[in-house]
Chain A
Amino acid sequence: MAAHVVRKADLKKFINAVKKKNTFLGPVSRKGDVTLAVVGLDDELVLSYSNFKLPPKTLLFPKNELISTYDDNGMVEVLPSEGEVVIFGIRPCDVLSLLHLDKVFLDEEFVDPYYQERRRNAVVVALACTEPMKTCYCTSVGGSPAGEEGADVLAFDLQDALLFEGCSEKGRAFMKTYADYLQKPTKADLASRNKISSEAPKKITPINVTGLTDKLEEHFESSLWEESAQPCLGCGVCTFTCPTCHCFGLHDEQYGQRGIRMRVHESCMFPSYSLEASGHNPRNANWERMRHRIMHKFHSTVRNFGDIFCVGCGRCIANCPVNLDIRETVAEVLHE
């Protein structure tokens, strides 16, 4: 389906129509920040943001996920049953992160049924970037501010209208469902759209990742790891704000004669994550855990899935309490 527009004046009507049939998540103001949340009756869609503080992975892979219950009769799997969810406003870098997570959770041989169910039910309406941040570098890791890879629908904010392009079967079907609310774009609309997709990448400061995977393997034993990880506090901010970090643990809780099993997010930056029952910890030192994280992002995933999992969103850089910068670490490795 070709590009269509919704004028800003008609946006609320369109969204209300979508809300009638699905759960609708979009960018709204919460506690002074723009967050991706269920758009309530009183909420206005906010479009003046660079990116959400937290990545959208928790929509498909929640921080606390009930996966089964057990009692005297045995264990019962609990699959998600939230129905169709339309997610609007995800940036292309975050959309790419979902494709990376698909490789982990929707492997041919082993399919994660919980992730699969949520993934199947989600319609991803990406919103192209007009103002990349100083910490962004998506173009260096296979992405783009106006990239459509992974999106069901790609939207552009044209100031007076939103332009939608169907990118997948699901996306085109979505647009067909709401065809009554969509209009044909004008020449000016299309020119605006093209301007965004050509201008935005120019605002990004790229980084070099050529040969990084091999260099990481080569310099596994380098002293640069211990040196560069000195300021690291060992918190989990980078992993929890990262769109592709997906380490998790299983946690059981008992309530009387019943129990539940949950999947919870974990962080490889915590020593307890790799601590073995014997007491041995293969990643005992903080710098070993930091090295592991960088390797996983730029090496192991390339070897296992063919892709650098980092999407260049810059959240780890912006949120690190001691301003550790993954771009600098990458440059140091290449320089070795």
Chain B
Amino acid sequence: MVNKKPDTAAWEPKIVAFLCNWCSYAGADLAGVSRIQYPCNLQIIRIPCSGRINPLYIVKALERGADGVLVSGCHPGDCHYISGNLVARRKFALLKNFLIYLGFEPERVQYSWVSASEGGRFASLVERVVDDVKRIGPSNRLVKEEPVHQNG
């Protein structure tokens, strides 16, 4: 799924979004139902809880050519499973710092909290993330290229 990136102003980033089923995914649904316009660069993956996110999902998305990764869950205190997002918060804090330390741009992987009633907030979040990723350009760290072979 390597995103072939044309070198033009028409380039649209591909952003993989992990949204928790109970809040963020519902929030995205609400944005849709309310006909709020927001950029269509997201490829959404619905997960039961932000606490379910294995850090390797985020790293794997980057390896497969995602230009950006967005992770969103319930607000702390509102997790459908009580504490999933609270455990995840610690993991994400460490992962955010670690990836930046290794040389990934801070805007490449972003985390947020969006509740089921925040359709507008979700749309603004997506606009913000797409803007950020457009500004930093296509992902060129960690992307796995198809091995080159001589026979075309």
Interface positions of A (Cβ within 8 A of B): 64, 66, 69, 76, 78, 81, 255-256, 258, 260, 262
What chain A residues lie within 8 Å of B94 (beta carbons)? none
| B103 in the interface (beta carbon within 8 A) | no
Given A255-B146, A258-B146, A260-B146: A78 and B1 interface contact (C-beta under 8 Å): no
Known A66-B149, A69-B149, A255-B146; further 13 A-B contacts with Cβ < 8 A: A64-B147, A66-B147, A69-B151, A76-B151, A78-B149, A78-B150, A78-B151, A81-B150, A255-B2, A256-B1, A258-B146, A260-B147, A260-B149
> CA–CA, A16 to B57, complex, Å?
49
The distance in angstroms between the C-alpha atoms of A258 and B152, with both chains bound, is: 12
Which of A66, A256, A260, A262 counts the most B-chain CB atoms under 10 A from its CB? Answer: A66
For A258, the chain B residues whose CB sits under 8 A away are: 146
Contact residues of A: prevailing secondary structure: strand
Q: List 18 A-B contacts (CB under 8 A).
A: A64-B147, A66-B147, A66-B149, A69-B149, A69-B151, A76-B151, A78-B149, A78-B150, A78-B151, A81-B150, A255-B2, A255-B146, A256-B1, A258-B146, A260-B146, A260-B147, A260-B149, A262-B147
Number of A-B contacts (CB under 8 A): 18
Interface residues on B, range: under 10
Kindly state the separation between the CA atoms of A70 and B2 in the bound complex, as whole angstroms: 17
A78 to B2, CA, bound (A): 22
A262 to B150, CA, bound (A): 14
Most chain A beta-carbon contacts within 10 A, residue among B1, B146, B150: B146
Could you say which residues of chain A place their CB within 8 Å of the CB of B149? 66, 69, 78, 260
CA distance A81 to B149 in the complex (A): 9
| A128 CA / B141 CA spacing, docked (Å) | 43
Closest beta carbon of chain A to B27's beta carbon, Å: 32
Interface centre among A76, A255, A256, A258 (most CB of B within 10 A): A255
Least Cβ distance of A103 to chain B in Å? 28
Collect the chain B residues with CB atoms within 8 Å of residue A78's CB: 149-151
**CA A15 – CA B147 in complex, angstroms?**
31
- Of all chain A residues, the one with the shortest Cβ separation from B2 is A255
Instruction: Determine how close the nearest CB of chain A comes to the CB of B46; give it in whole angstroms.
Output: 24
In the bound complex, residues from chain B placing their C-beta under 8 Å from that of A81 are: 150
Interface string of B123-150 (1 = CB under 8 A from A): 0000000000000000000000011011
- CB-based closest 5 A-B pairs: A255-B146, A78-B149, A81-B150, A66-B147, A66-B149
Contacts of B151 in A (CB 8 A): 69, 76, 78
Q: Which residue of B lies closest to A258 (CB)?
A: B146
